[in-house]
Structure 1
């Protein structure tokens, strides 16, 4: 066991909440910019194949890497609690565990790349040209999988310590370098799709190096390389249990959104396109809410580690208030300017008309989902992962029942209503478990 020394946690204020949240929001903005540049650069080649190949390859790898998203969430909760408890040795050891999981997970993907790519391309078939180009793209990028996944752990470790400016700088560096190398390799050296892949490969490994430099304080303490601490059975078992629960919860959530896409496709290409346009409204809302949900993870986790029940409640209320305020603004913007936003995203007249017909759901979705989103952050910080898993399973069952009842009679309206019902179900079920979460801090 490591020694614990109480640490001053500081007052939870609006300024502190914004100081943590704003860099996360800005960091999120860089993600679609990089995707747009990747597409734009290969678009200059004047052929449709490379555009489709980069898009397909990036989607497949993003989906595979997303499976390891539990590493960021679990690391935030565990690290913030160790920090709140004053257990500096465990804070360092958690970084080592996260890095080991990231490297091992990435190495496994490299070993399994052939069957993995084959299965992915069978699930999402394309023309022979696009499949060949996308396979070449993925074969380059997969070699940076250990770095990409380890960065999830580093990001979570930094967020837990309120070092979100470092997270922003890390994203700016990786995405900025990626963009510069894209331009050089594709437009300057004419490396085509391979150039885009090599640019991302180099950016991700350089990002890991920068991330480790940001974490250098942890390496000044012996805990990070103490095998007895890093591989302590009880702590390892707890970490694996938390991460396993979060993984199951995330897979259910992903299944919900994938089913929304697949069922929407059964209503025709125009409705499918309209739904995709409107889903970008939800993505934008998530970018804004991420900042406050991550802040909740950090502050609630620190309070849980310190066994400070009042601080948990204050962190939950303050971050939740900012989350609600942000979605009120976004819903107002969507309600007043939604039509113009739709017109910016598509020039197809029939898709514009269809999207406007379902715009009300995109306006309502952030309001319906804000409580679930913020409670996710609170429960992650408290590492109440079993509750997250179980309540997600209940919510998924409610979503499936709503689909069965509403879609046959209401069509795409029923599909959107089922999604909104699932958001409310997640909020209600997690809300019912919140008193038990607070009680843990007093136990």
Structure 2
């Protein structure tokens, strides 16, 4: 069979759909719960909504750590799976799960001792800062489960299994979506009830993914050298994640200084943005698994065909999301809060949100291609450059010149454009398509294990 026919078969829409649609449900489950949580708390008033905005932004750091664990595991597991060694792919999941659990415990401890101070600093002190600290200390207990679930998703995606995670993610989040309004209102826990429901869902999800590892009959012993190796090979993803976190934490801090209505509107818009980003990331996850497996099997032609196709699919899906968001401009903010001042501020961010979605669809898709290829160093450099040259300067200039929420979202648009240009140039260069079970720059570390 020719390279062209193989590429067409592997990169077919049906093949993408088989991996992307289950991943889409998994990705959408958590942000849908967060949107429900935001709507439930929003009806308690402006201060609780702003407090969850601040506390939730801090907890997003844990979610990004989970993304680092999942994406690093997916790329490595996919290459080993593509080389015909499923057992080695699952073993990557065992060691990344130990790493995830350890980091989760550290997050719990850090939030108990320093979460209140961090939330207060982001909120500028006052009533919002105090409430955010209380919410954060409770929500942090879900961190180990959240990170274990991320590691589980990582190795399962690597072996191209996106179906089992449906039950492991959707089930706990449905339970939590029911618990949240019950704990907040009838049981009288207020906004802390949302944090309790969140922690329950994340812990249950982590337990289910650990059960999947046990069912594989793999050795569950931790191997410190392999864990250190994963840390070394994930350093670029960590730095990339830190650039994202510095940007979004700064955006929330600046929004909070413009008042509760602005930070409440920013919370609504940014949570919808994260929902759209994760939903579009379903294509990226399919690309990670398929590109990693193709390169692991030594087939660079298939990998390049996948990259081109996923870029076009990303553009189409991003445009569709943009149309939906534009249609909901006058309706969606009212679902989260009755506060008209928050509604007015949300409309300031809305045009930027709509305009960037088609571009973001391509960016997220090509992120997945390069992560699957193990080209993390380039992604790190591009993301840091976009943050330092675009997003962060725009955010702090917005604060200095009192530009409001529009300035913050203009900065996010600039960040997306910088990354889009860099990703397209990298795709056209072909330098990312390195074949083999392990990418060359990682082989030295692999030899130690």
When the two structures are superposed, what TM-score results if normalisation uses the length of structure 2? 0.79
Which of 428, 431, 442 is matched with 2:424 structurally?
431
Partners of 2:303 and 2:32 in 1: CA distance: 35
- The aligned runs of 1:97-116 (5 Å cut-off) are 97-116=95-114
**Alpha-carbon contact 1:303-1:311 (below 8 Å) kept:** yes
Number of residue pairs matched by the alignment = 426
Aligned equivalent of 2:390 = 399
Partners of 2:390 and 2:119 in 1: CA distance: 29
The structural deviation recorded for 1:60 is 3.7
Per-residue Cα deviation, 1:382-406 (whole angstroms, up to 9, x for no partner) = 1211111112222223216973998
The structural deviation recorded for 1:14 is 0.6
**Alpha-carbon contact 1:242-1:386 (below 8 Å) kept:** no
Aligned equivalent of 2:159 = 161
Query: Cα gap change, 1:51/1:346 in structure 2, threshold over 3 Å: closer, same or farther?
Result: closer
- Comparing 315-324 with 242-251, greater Cα deviation is found at 315-324
Aligned equivalent of 1:6 = none
Query: Cα gap change, 1:392/1:42 in structure 2, threshold over 3 Å: closer, same or farther?
Result: closer
Query: Cα gap change, 1:365/1:175 in structure 2, threshold over 3 Å: closer, same or farther?
Result: same
- Comparing 199-208 with 159-168, greater Cα deviation is found at 199-208
**Alpha-carbon contact 1:77-1:383 (below 8 Å) kept:** yes
- The aligned runs of 1:1-400 (5 Å cut-off) are 11-35=10-34, 38=37, 57-124=55-122, 131=130, 135=134, 138-182=136-180, 197-219=195-217, 221=218, 224-225=219-220, 230-231=223-224, 233=225, 236=227, 238-263=229-254, 277-342=268-333, 352=343, 355-356=346-347, 359-399=350-390
Query: Cα gap change, 1:41/1:387 in structure 2, threshold over 3 Å: closer, same or farther?
Result: closer
The structural deviation recorded for 1:134 is 5.2
- Comparing 107-116 with 269-278, greater Cα deviation is found at 269-278
The structural deviation recorded for 1:301 is 1.2
Per-residue Cα deviation, 1:259-317 (whole angstroms, up to 9, x for no partner) = 34444566676666655554455334313311111111111111121121011112212
Query: Cα gap change, 1:311/1:157 in structure 2, threshold over 3 Å: closer, same or farther?
Result: same
Q: Alignment partner of 2:382: what SS? A: helix
**Alpha-carbon contact 1:309-1:438 (below 8 Å) kept:** no
Q: Does 1:421 align with 2:419?
A: no
- Comparing 265-274 with 388-397, greater Cα deviation is found at 265-274
Per-residue Cα deviation, 1:336-393 (whole angstroms, up to 9, x for no partner) = 5534445655655566556546543222111232332222111111121111111222
Partners of 1:183 and 1:199 in 2: CA distance: 9
Structure 1 unaligned runs (5+)? 1-9
Q: Alignment partner of 1:215: what SS? A: helix
- Comparing 403-412 with 98-107, greater Cα deviation is found at 403-412
**Alpha-carbon contact 1:282-1:365 (below 8 Å) kept:** no
Partners of 1:148 and 1:350 in 2: CA distance: 34
Query: Cα gap change, 1:16/1:259 in structure 2, threshold over 3 Å: closer, same or farther?
Result: same
Partners of 1:68 and 1:424 in 2: CA distance: 25
Structure 2 unaligned runs (5+)? 1-8, 441-449
**Alpha-carbon contact 2:50-2:128 (below 8 Å) kept:** no
Query: Cα gap change, 1:186/1:430 in structure 2, threshold over 3 Å: closer, same or farther?
Result: closer
Partners of 1:181 and 1:273 in 2: CA distance: 23
When the two structures are superposed, what TM-score results if normalisation uses the length of structure 1? 0.80
CA RMSD of aligned residues (A): 3.9
Query: Cα gap change, 1:396/1:39 in structure 2, threshold over 3 Å: closer, same or farther?
Result: closer
Q: Does 1:440 align with 2:434?
A: yes
Query: Cα gap change, 1:269/1:85 in structure 2, threshold over 3 Å: closer, same or farther?
Result: same
**Alpha-carbon contact 1:288-1:326 (below 8 Å) kept:** no
Query: Cα gap change, 1:392/1:81 in structure 2, threshold over 3 Å: closer, same or farther?
Result: same
Partners of 1:184 and 1:404 in 2: CA distance: 38
Query: Cα gap change, 1:149/1:364 in structure 2, threshold over 3 Å: closer, same or farther?
Result: same
